[in-house]
Amino acid sequence: MAGPPRDPARRTAYDALLAVDTEGAYANLIMNRLLAERGLTGRDAAFATELVAGTSRLAGSYDLIIGAASGRDPERLDRPVLILLRLGTHQLLNLRVPAHAAVASTVDLAREAVGPKITGLVNAVLRKVAAHDYRSWTDRLSRGLAPREALAIRTAHPRWIVDAYADVLPEAELEPALLANNEPAPVTLAVRPGLAEVSELVEAGAGPGRWSPYAATWQGSPAELAAVRQGRAGVQDEGSQLVAAALPGPSTSSGDVDPWLDLCAGPGGKSALLAGLAKAAGTWLLAAEVSRHRADLVRSAVRGLDSVEVVVADGTRPAWRSGRFGRVLADVPCTGLGSLRRRPESRWRRDPATLDQLVPLQRALLHAALDAARPGGLVGYVTCSPHRRETVEVVEAVLAERTGVTTVAAADVLAGAGLPEPPDSAAGPYLQLWPHRHGTDAMFAAYLRVD
């Protein structure tokens, strides 16, 4: 970059979006890095963050609008030009930036970041984009299309994700559920049981959680709180807290001091909660994670807790005796379709074909979790996805392949653990949370008892 940028917030957003698009960077991570490197804070940092998150989330629909406004296939535009047009389109159609400012600032940015040759094109296309609002653009683009296709454009989701949501939600809830993915998730914290109390966070200005007794909501940066800086609390979605906090379930008659196992522990949010709960129950937690780097993240998440051991291990090739653990959590790798609001670019990167690789691994991990549990032990199978193929269908396929395993209704597990059952969260005997219903990620949990 020659000299300091004229508009550091927009320039930072452009650089981040280019890295997301061309280098496979994660929007949240690259933004944290660029904001720190460039010393952007306050309103500039908030504006740049919104530009990147909003532009990334709606990119698929913005490309259709840019295609219609430019008369060109957006895929054939140079990537820097497409990124600039998406950035301008987001300001024109979904932010309260006056049209002349959105166009002029994007043209200036185009000149600075790419060169003078493209300013005419950027100016002309954005003026055409500015002729309609977002709703009338998506209405125009949807004319004559099937309702689901139109919904995909209006809510800016790939069609296969709309179909996956439609498989598990009533038709009337489909649009609110998809639109909830376009709202940033609130910052939710979890205290580590035994190391901090929610009351400490509330006294510091946090709000109480809705479903988890360990949760608090926070408006600012989590690092402003001493409990977070000291590792006595961490950032964790409330649905993630609830599915893990339920695992102790109803107490069983014998053997309750057997250790617990977290089979897929990285980066460690649920391990931190479970380690505290295991200690309170008079036992300890083995946290297993296949990736060395992510196992280090688990170690960091559980620092200060003495009731946990972290190991690098492939859960499908157990390094432990079978039938040993009183509680087992299998929070398996999944598509993450339930946490799209947290990962702005992810909906456009995911591909239904990834399920063909994930499902066999998910089944193998659930089998391994059941093998690891002692008779009478409780296993939780968890995904941050509502997709039927990786939730109900995995559980039912594994149940069909085994004897001696009983499904325990999630409502009974929650009640046994002294936790509330969020309304409309039952999916048969399983738990399915939703952002638009519960304000949590769309976590799925099935609880199974080994006879």
Ligand X SMILES: C[S@@+](CC[C@H](N)C(=O)[O-])C[C@H]1O[C@@H](n2cnc3c(N)ncnc32)[C@H](O)[C@@H]1O
Least CB distance to ligand X at residue 298 (A) = 7
316 lines the binding site for ligand X (CB under 6 A): yes
Least CB distance to ligand X at residue 292 (A) = 10
Nearest residue (CB) to ligand X, 104 versus 290 = 290
Q: Which stretches of 24-158 are DSSP H helices?
A: 27-38, 42-57, 59-70, 79-94, 99-113, 119-129, 134-142, 147-155
354 lines the binding site for ligand X (CB under 6 A): no
Least CB distance to ligand X at residue 291 (A) = 4
Nearest residue (CB) to ligand X, 109 versus 190 = 190
Least CB distance to ligand X at residue 300 (A) = 11
396 lines the binding site for ligand X (CB under 6 A): no
Least CB distance to ligand X at residue 383 (A) = 7
Q: Note the Cα 445 to chain centre separation in Å.
A: 16
In 159-306, the DSSP E strands lie at: 187-191, 207-208, 215-218, 233-235, 260-262, 285-289
Query: Which has the closest alpha carbon to 94: 344, 399, 430, 268?
Result: 344
Nearest residue (CB) to ligand X, 108 versus 296 = 296
Q: Note the Cα 118 to chain centre separation in Å.
A: 36
340 lines the binding site for ligand X (CB under 6 A): no
Q: Which of residues 258-297 bind ligand X (CB under 6 A)?
A: 263-270, 288-291, 294
Sign of dihedral through CA atoms 16, 18, 23, 25? Answer: positive
Catalytic position from the list 225, 368, 384, 398: 384
Nearest residue (CB) to ligand X, 212 versus 240 = 240
Residue keyed to tokens 């296709």: 149
Tell me if residue 384 is catalytic: yes
Nearest residue (CB) to ligand X, 119 versus 291 = 291
Would you call 285 helix, strand, or coil by DSSP? strand
Q: Note the Cα 435 to chain centre separation in Å.
A: 11
Q: For residues 274 and 284, what is the distance between their CA atoms, to the nearest angstrom?
A: 9
231 lines the binding site for ligand X (CB under 6 A): no
Contact 49, 31 (CB under 8 A): yes
54 lines the binding site for ligand X (CB under 6 A): no
First to last CA, the chain: 65
Contact letters (x/-) for ligand X, 191-230, by CB under 6 A? Answer: ----------------------------------------
| Residues of this chain that bind ligand X (CB under 6 A) | 240, 263-270, 288-291, 294, 314-316, 331, 333
Active centre residues (catalytic) = 384
